[in-house]
Chains A and B, each alone.
Chain A
Amino acid sequence: MDTLIAWILRAIPFGTIIMYGALGEIVTEKTGNLNLGVPGIMYLGGFAGFASAYLYENSVAAPNMFLCVILSLVCAFIASMIGGLIYSFLTITLRANQNVTGLALTTFGMGVANFFGVFILDGRTATQSLVYKTFQTKIPVLSQLGTIGQTVFGYGFMVYAAIILAIVLHHILSHTRIGLNLRAIGENPATADAAGISVTRYKYLATCLGAGISGLGGLYYVLDYNQGIWATTGQIEALGWLALALVIFTTWKPLNAIWGSYLFGTLYWLYQFLPTLMGFSVPGYITDLIQMVPYLVTIAVLIVTSLRKKREDQPPASLGLAYFREER
C-alpha cells in the first residue's frame, strides 16, 4: 500500500510537468503549427523561472516569497513566449519548414539555458532557489486527511492549476468563437481566411501563448519537482519529447491530457515501483527499457486511432503546412 501511495506521489507531479508541455502544444497545433521546439521552450521556461527567483532571493535582504512565485511565473512565461515568437516568425511569416525550425528551436533553447546557467552555477554543480518551498506548499487541512488527503491534496498549487487550465482550454476550444476560429485555421486555413478570420494573427497568438504554457512545465520541473535545484536539467529535454508524445496520445483534446499525463507518469515510474510491488528485482539496464513504455503506449494510440479512422481523433488537417493565400 505504501509503495502504491509513493508511486502516485511520484506519478502526479511528473505528469504535471508534461501536462503543461502538452497543453501548450495542443493550443499551438490546433492552429496547424507543429512546434517540435517544446523541449527547448520548456528548457527556456525552466531556466528563466529559476534564474529570476534565484537572483531575486539573492539580491533582496528579506525576499517576499509570494512575489518571488509571481516573478518566476511571469519570467518563465515571457521567456517561453519569446521562443514561440521566434518559431512563429520563421514558420508563419517566412514560411520556413516547421519541423526543421522546431528541432532547431529545441537545440537553441537548451543551448541558451545552459549557457546562462553557467553564470548561475558559478563553478558549483548545483544551486538552489528557496522559493520551491512556496511552490510545494500543500493544501492545508485537506492534505492531512489520511491516504486520500495525501494523494489527492498533497501537491503544490501548480498541479491543480494545470487541471484548471486543461478545463479552461477545453471550454475555450469547444464553446467559444475564438476556439471555433482557432480550430478552423488548423483544419483549413483557406476556408478560415475566406470567412474573414485573420489566419496570421491567430497563428501567432496561439503559438506564442502555447509556448508560454509549455514553458511553465519547465518551471514546474525546476522549482517544484526538482526542489528548486538547477541541476540534472538534461531531464527537461526528455520530458519535452514525452509532452509531444502526450499531445498525440490525447488526440488533441485538453481534457484527455489530464488523465493521460498521470498515466504517462505512472508508466514512467513503473520500473521503480512495480518490481517492489510484485516482490522481485530487475537489473539496471532493464529500467531504461521500461521507461519506454509511455512511447509504446503512444504508438499503440496512433495505431488504434489510424485504424478507427474517426475524423475527430485525427490531427488538425493542415498540421505542419505553411499557409499561402491563393493568388493568380
Chain B
Amino acid sequence: MEYAIELRHITKTFGSVVANHDVSLDVRKGEILSLLGENGSGKTTLMNMIAGIYYPDSGEIIVDGKLVEIRSPKDAYALGIGMVHQHFKLIDVFTAAENIALVLDKQEKYNLKDIKAKAQQICERYSFDIDLEQKVYEMSVSQKQTLEIIKMLYRGAQLLILDEPTAVLTPQETEKLFAVMRNMRADGKSIIIITHKLHEVLSISDRVAILRKGEYAGTIDTAAADEASLTELMVGKKVELNIEREAPVNPHLRLNVHNLTITNAEGIKVLDQVSFEAFSGEILGIAGISGNGQKELLEAIAGLQHPEKDSSIVYYPDDDRDSTAEQLIGKSPKNIRDMGIHLSFVPEDRLGMGLVGSMGMIDNMMLKTYSEGHSPLVDRKGPRYLAEEIKDELGVVTPSISTPVSRLSGGNVQKVLVGREIAAAPSVLMTAYAVRGLDINTSYTIYHLLNEQKKSGVAIIYVGEDLDVLIDLCDRILILCGGKCNGIVDARKTNKEEVGLLMTRLAGKQEGGVA
C-alpha cells in the first residue's frame, strides 16, 4: 500500500493544554479520509502541523516514504500539501487570478495571462465553476472555497486538507463540492476532510480516522461503519468525573421559552422554534456542536437578539406565579439584567464580551455598577472589595487587582468573568463554555460555584461541549442541532451515545439527506 502521508507519534502541547497526544495515522494515495472528532479533539491542530502552521513537539511525519520536516507553509507546498482553512486566506479586492498569483513561486514569471490559462485548465479538469476575472468580494462563500482549492491545486498539491468545508455550504453546494472531491480522487489526489457531520463522513470518505480529546481513537473503513459505531468511537466510553450533584430542591418555573425563532443577517434561521422551560434550583445543560444556535439562544434571553414574531420568553421572578410573569422580548438588555437574569458569556474570544482587556479587575467589576449610586463620582470601594473577594475565593492568579485583565491567562480571565456574574446574585445565570481551556482543578472550582448557585435557588443554563461534564453536572440536557431543539433528556438517565446521536444525526435528515 502506498501512502501519501504517514504520521508517527505526533504530540503537540500549547502551554499546559495537550492538543494532540501520540497520534499516528496515515493517508493512502488516491483516497478520501475523514477526520472525525468532537470540538476541541485536536483535529485542526493536527492538520495545521501537516500544513506547516504549527511544528510538532515530538513525532515524525513521512511524506511519500521519506521522513520530512515541515516548518512553514512553504515547506508544505513544496511537498505537495495544501490546506484550505476555515477562514479563507484571500484578498477581497483582488480578482481570483490575482489571488492565485499571490501564492506562486517567486521564481515563476509574473504573467496574469499565463496564470489564468493554467488555472482555467485546472478548472476544466475537475469541473470547478468559477470566473477567474471576478473579484473575491463579489463571490459567494462557496466560490471562495473553490478558489482556495484551485490555489492549492495550482501550486501542485497532491494532498489536500479541507477544514470543515461543509460548515458554510448549503446542501446543494456541499453536493457540488463532493462531486469535485470525487473527481480529484479519481485523478490520484489524496484528500483529508475534517468534519463532524456523520452523514457526510459516510457519503464521501473511503476511511474514517477518529480523534478523541487529542488522542487517536482508530481508523475504520467507511463501508464497515454506521452512525452508531462512529458516534461510539467519537464520544468514547463514559468517564466518571465525580462532580457532586444533588436533586433540585423545590424547583419552580423561572423561564418559559416558547417557539423561539431567530433569523440572522444572511436570512438563515439560526434558531428554529425552540421551546423549553428552566426551573429554579436546577442546571439545564445545552449540548450541541458549536455554532448550532447556542450563542443566539443565550443572547436572545439576555435581550441581545431580535427574535421573530410568535417567539416568547416569559420570566417568572416570583416562583411560578403568573401574576408577576414578564415577557422578556422587547426589553432592553439592561432591563433584563436588572431583573436578575445574568449572562456570563465565555465565547471563543474571552475578552470580546463582558470584560475590557486593558482595564484591571476593579474597573471590570465597576462596568456593571457604575450607574448605581447618586454621587456624581463613581464608587470604587465596592468594586475593589468585590475584586479582592473574587481573587481570593477563586484563586485568580494576578500580580494585582489593577493589572489589565488581558495580561492574565485565559483561565484566570474566565474566573474573573464568572465570579463577577455570580456575585451579582442573579436569579437566572447563563454560562457558555465556562471551562473551555481551563485545567481540571479550575474547572472543578467553576462546577462547585455553579452547584452552590443551584443550591441557593438560581436557575442555571449551562452551555457546554464536554458530554461527560454535561451528563454529570446537569439535571436536564437540551440538545440543539441546526438551530432546532432535538430533544430534552434527563441527565441522570441518558448516556453519551444518546446525546451524541441527537447532536449529529437528525441534522442530516433535516438538511435534505445529503447522504
Contacts and interface: CB of A to CB of B under 8 A. Distances in A.
B73 A194 contact: yes
B147 to A, nearest CB: 12
A328 interface: yes
Interface in B414-449: none
B14 A328 contact: yes
DSSP class of B's interface residues: helix, strand, loop or mixed?
loop
DSSP class of A's interface residues: helix, strand, loop or mixed?
helix
Interface of B: 14, 54, 72-74, 89-94, 98, 101-103, 106, 110, 135, 137
A191 B90 contact: yes
Interface of A: 176-177, 180-181, 183-184, 187-188, 190-192, 194-197, 311-312, 314, 317, 328
B91 A191 contact: yes
A184 B102 contact: yes
Given A196-B73, A197-B102, A328-B54, 5 more contacts: A181-B102, A184-B102, A187-B94, A188-B89, A196-B72
Nearest to B48: A328
Given A177-B110, A180-B110, A196-B74, A311 B93 contact: yes
A191 B135 contact: no
Contacts of A197: 102
A177 B101 CA distance: 8
Contacts, number: 52
B135 A311 contact: yes
A117 B59 CA distance: 65
A195 B102 contact: yes
A184 B91 contact: yes
Given A194-B73, A196-B73, A311-B137, A180 B92 contact: no
B93 A187 contact: yes
A194 B89 contact: yes
A195 B74 CA distance: 8
Q: Which interface residue of B89, B102, B110 has the most chain A CB atoms within 10 A?
A: B102
Contacts of A196: 72-74, 103, 106
Given A194-B73, A311-B137, A188 B92 contact: yes
B103 A176 contact: no
24 contacts: A176-B110, A177-B106, A177-B110, A180-B94, A183-B91, A184-B91, A184-B102, A187-B91, A187-B93, A188-B89, A188-B90, A192-B91, A194-B89, A195-B89, A196-B72, A196-B73, A196-B106, A197-B102, A311-B92, A311-B93, A312-B93, A317-B92, A317-B93, A328-B14
Nearest to A328: B14
A176 B106 CA distance: 12
A194 B82 CA distance: 12
Nearest to B51: A194
Contacts of A317: 92-93
A195 B14 CA distance: 25
A184 B14 CA distance: 30
The 6 closest A-B pairs by CB, nearest first: A177-B110, A191-B89, A195-B103, A187-B91, A194-B89, A195-B102
Nearest to B138: A311
A192 B90 CA distance: 9
Contacts of A311: 92-93, 135, 137
A85 B495 CA distance: 64
B137 A190 contact: no
